A and B are shown apart, each in its own frame.
Chain A
Amino acid sequence: MTATDAGRRSPDDGDPRPASRLEPAPEPAPERARAPAPAPALDSAPAPEAEAEAEPELRPTPDPAETLAELLRGEGRRVLATVIRVTGDLALAEDAVQDAGISALETWRRLGVPPNPRAWLTLAAKRRVIDLLRREGARPVKEREAITLAVQQTPDDTPPGVVRDDQLRLIFTCCHPALAPETQVALSLRVLCGLSVGEVARALLVPEATMAKRLTRARRKIADAGIRYRIPDAEELPGRLGAVATTVFLLFTEGYASRSAGAPGAGAQVADAPFSAAPGAAAPSADPGFPGTPVAIPDAAPALVAQAAILDVAPAPAAPTAPFAAVEAIRLGRLLVELMPGEPVLEGLLATMLLQHSRLAARFDNAGDIVLLADQDRALWDRGLAAEGIELAASAIRGSSLRPERFAVTAAIAACHALATDAAATDWNAILAWYDVLLALDPSPVVGLNRAAALAERGEPAEALKAVDGLVGLDDYFWFHATRAELLRRLGRDREAGAAAAVAEDLTESAAQRRLLARRYPR
């Protein structure tokens, strides 16, 4: 009997824990309000025996808010993955790590940041697990003992390789085919990316209460049906990759397109996620120079604000720093490529993300305004990332030459842009050819929209508008209306362009997108 086996509940415990504590809707504030102060041991430095010497070394924290944000983004989720593996209980681990984070905030503000924050946090989370188990009451004794033992036997300082594997286990659990695709995506955003339930709900255009229920159901299914935290065997691995790649890419676009900016259509069409879910997804490469095409928006602010709300610290400045979900997605992408080198799906996924990410610094000017692809200072592009992306794209295409992987094709399109020394040198014929391939693989309206944008860039705006007007299902999609506005403007139909821009404006809460529209289509 392992801790994971013990994760099964008996029916007579009334299952009060997942039903109540897992109901994540108002998280986390009410939970915090209800929860007693963290265990005394956690309130000071943890584990006197382990950390006694560490205390004098504590140094004053230059910026607690920054430290905490970093903690929750990175280490917090690494620790979560480890604690989930050890306890075999997603909900228990989430609660414990969240509480540990609160303890860290309180303690570190007072005493400074310990030398090994992750070990501190791991220890705090482990203690919290045992504490929570004690309070629960309803859980069978045998199971409680098994988890307690497993937790006690886990070192605080998890070796990097194990941390890596813990993260991968969690990826494959969140993307298990026994979960519905939309659930996989939601769970990954919540557990891997650390978004709040509200943020996940907005990202996927689902009411928050519905999302809370969906996530609770997902956690229950994982526990009750015995979905294990494990990396799939070699023979099942390839079949599991599609869902993982899709989810990681959604994570990436989540980093770029703020909740407010859109993630359009994701709720309705998660199966098409890579190319219909979010602006960045649709056209990693196809921001060919006007607002009509999905330009990725590095909108780091919402995630940071959300973290700040949890921690009650000042939000970090909304400067165009790398969006953390995107950075996390790239990190996960690298891990996956490392796990399965030469796998075209994963190479294409990583290449697409890297190539898009390489343009980050050029996307906004000093005033925070969007700079369109054609106007971008290409000297600001990260050539290192781009080169890595191009190489991976080529490998992905070579590796799937009989039937190209979708991510290999999106990477190829992105590579076409990266290879152009300036906007005028862009090979639109090649890009259109790749879009034709993409459309054959994924005949979705968003791909059609991006193909039309490329058509306009080749100098055929009238043909492009005809194609755009033939697309269905994009009425609520910001870029659909923004694209129409631009095409109409190019055709000299300024009044209609203004009307389309107005519709687009109503569909976005992104200040940068609104300023772009105002600049381009003055009314």
Chain B
Amino acid sequence: MPSYVALTYTRDVDWSAPEQAAEMAEYLEFGRNAAAVIRGGAALYPTPTATTVRVTGGKGGDVVIGDGPYAETKEALTGFYLLECDSLDEALRHAANLPAAWNGVVEVRPTIPSMT
């Protein structure tokens, strides 16, 4: 059975804050409704909490730690789901029920089978 990630791009807010509770409840509802195909996923803390890691000079080189994100964008990656669906069409049907689909955009990508 193929797997897909549904990446949610939305407002870059703190989803753990009480102000987001109403919208989070919608995500939880999605989680219950799509439980049969959800294999994992998480909401992410806002992008200012992101840290980048880069190794310069190729493998074994210096590890450079940086502060992400690179630029302020209107919509940021704020969460993801791993979905196991029979087809792209099925994955898209579920993705369309994510609040991010109307509050932002959802990107659905197939995963490479043996790497999941």
Interface residues of A (CB under 8 A from B): 5, 8, 10-12, 178, 224-228, 230, 232, 236
Contact = CB atoms under 8 A, between A and B. Distances in A.
Contact of B87 (A11, A224, A228): A228
Contacts of A8: 2, 113
B112 A226 contact: no
Interface in B67-114: 85-89, 91-92, 109-110, 112-114
B87 A226 contact: yes
Main secondary structure of the interface of A (DSSP, over half): loop
Interface residues of B, number: 16
Nearest to A224: B110
A226 B114 contact: no
Contact of B114 (A10, A230, A236): A10
Nearest to B114: A10
Given A11-B115, A224-B110, A5 B88 contact: no
A228 B88 contact: yes
Given A5-B2, A8-B113, 19 more contacts: A10-B112, A10-B114, A11-B112, A11-B113, A11-B114, A12-B114, A178-B88, A178-B92, A225-B110, A226-B85, A226-B87, A226-B91, A227-B88, A228-B86, A228-B87, A228-B88, A230-B87, A230-B89, A232-B89
A12 B113 CA distance: 10
Contacts of A225: 88, 109-110
Contacts of B17: none
B114 A5 contact: no
Interface of B: 1-2, 4, 85-89, 91-92, 109-110, 112-115
Contacts, number: 38
Nearest to B108: A225
A228 B115 CA distance: 22
Given A5-B2, A226-B2, A10 B113 contact: yes
B5 to A, nearest CB: 12
Contacts of B87: 226-228, 230
Given A5-B1, A8-B2, A226 B115 contact: no
A171 to B, nearest CB: 15
A12 B91 CA distance: 25
A10 B85 CA distance: 17
Contacts of A232: 89
The 10 A-B pairs at the shortest CB distance, nearest first, are namely: A228-B87, A226-B2, A226-B88, A11-B112, A10-B114, A225-B110, A225-B88, A226-B87, A227-B88, A224-B110
Contacts of A226: 2, 4, 85-88, 91, 110
22 contacts: A5-B1, A5-B86, A10-B114, A11-B113, A11-B114, A11-B115, A178-B88, A178-B92, A225-B109, A226-B2, A226-B4, A226-B85, A226-B86, A226-B87, A226-B88, A226-B110, A227-B89, A228-B87, A228-B88, A228-B89, A230-B89, A232-B89
B116 to A, nearest CB: 11
